[in-house]
Chain A
Amino acid sequence: MNKAELIQELVKQGHITQKVAKIVVDTIFEEMKQALVNGERIEIRGFGSFSIREYDGYNGRNPKTGETVKVAPKRLPFFKVGKELRDRINQAK
């Protein structure tokens, strides 16, 4: 499912217009993105949480050529699944 399909599905169940559904979905992910950019942690009960992890730079290797490459320090979002969702996904097997 992509964002357009998520919007479609929301229109189907929510008694709202396409336009409003798009604003809702865009707002949710835009706000989350902003929070992460600001270094803020996100906690959505029942779904999961996002935190920022800082990684030091290191000397890596290009596995094809064996050349040494410098990998710069970076920040990455880390997602931890919430308990409810983890159980639902695992039980649905």
Chain B
Amino acid sequence: MTKMDLVNSIYSKVGFSKKDSLNIVENVLEIMKSRLEEGEKIKISGFGNFIVREKKPRRGRNPQTGDQIIIEGRRILTFKPSNVLRRLLNESK
């Protein structure tokens, strides 16, 4: 599934034009992205939570040379599926 499949389901369900359907899907994604960028958590009940986590700097090694290097701190995004989604995925087996 790609973004275009989402656009098509909005098109057939809401009756927007293809162009407006694409715009609205992009709007939803952009709202989510800008909140995540601010470090905010997004909770979609029945689907899951998107959580921004801070990783501390740590010592690592260059696996090729064995040299010690400092891995800088960074922010990463994780997804935790909701229990509903977990259950659905395992029922269908």
Contacts and interface: CB of A to CB of B under 8 A. Distances in A.
A81 B50 CA distance: 10
Interface string B42-69: 1111111010100000000000000000
Given A6-B32, A89-B52, A92-B39, A35 B1 contact: yes
A1 B42 contact: yes
Give the interface size class of chain B: 35 or more
Interface residues of A, number: 49
A38 B13 CA distance: 20
Contacts of A24: 10, 14, 24-25, 28
A40 to B, nearest CB: 5
A23 interface: yes
A28 interface: yes
B13 A27 contact: yes
B17 interface: no
B2 A44 contact: yes
Contacts of A40: 1
16 contacts: A3-B43, A6-B44, A10-B24, A16-B24, A25-B28, A28-B28, A29-B44, A36-B85, A45-B2, A48-B77, A50-B79, A74-B90, A81-B76, A84-B33, A86-B76, A92-B38
Interface of A: 1-3, 6, 9-10, 13-14, 16, 20, 23-25, 27-29, 31-33, 35-48, 50, 52, 74-77, 79, 81, 84-86, 88-90, 92-93
Given A23-B13, A28-B28, 4 more contacts: A6-B28, A27-B14, A76-B81, A77-B89
